[in-house]
Amino acid sequence: MSYAGESSIEARVRAVTADFGRRQTRLFITFALIEGPVLLLLAVAIYGFELIDPEVGIWFIVAVAVVGGFLMSALLMRLMQARVRAVAQAKGENPLF
């Protein structure tokens, strides 16, 4: 067990890992809360109100999903790289690798 004043390397690494776990969870939730309604509004505009032709509208949905996937991948890669740097720094290694 660790206590609040523990400053060992393992404790610092655990703290960094926990912090980045919270950041990753917040990223997923925020992303879902933004992309979900965008896709829902697009689907309602296409199929509910028929503002856009469904043959063309499906490509809008696909485009939003693909852009969202690339954005999510980029954000996750950035977060993972920051986590690796933070863990290396917590271990006392050179953070400028």
pLDDT in tens, 45-89: 999 999 999 999 999 999 999 999 999 999 999 999 999 999 999
Give the integer Cα–Cα distance in Å for 89 and 83: 10
Q: Tell me: pLDDT of 97 over 70.
A: no
Rounded to two decimals, the pTM is 0.80
Residue 1 has pLDDT above 60, yes or no: no
Contacts of 46 (CB under 8 A, 6+ apart): 52, 54, 57, 58, 60, 61
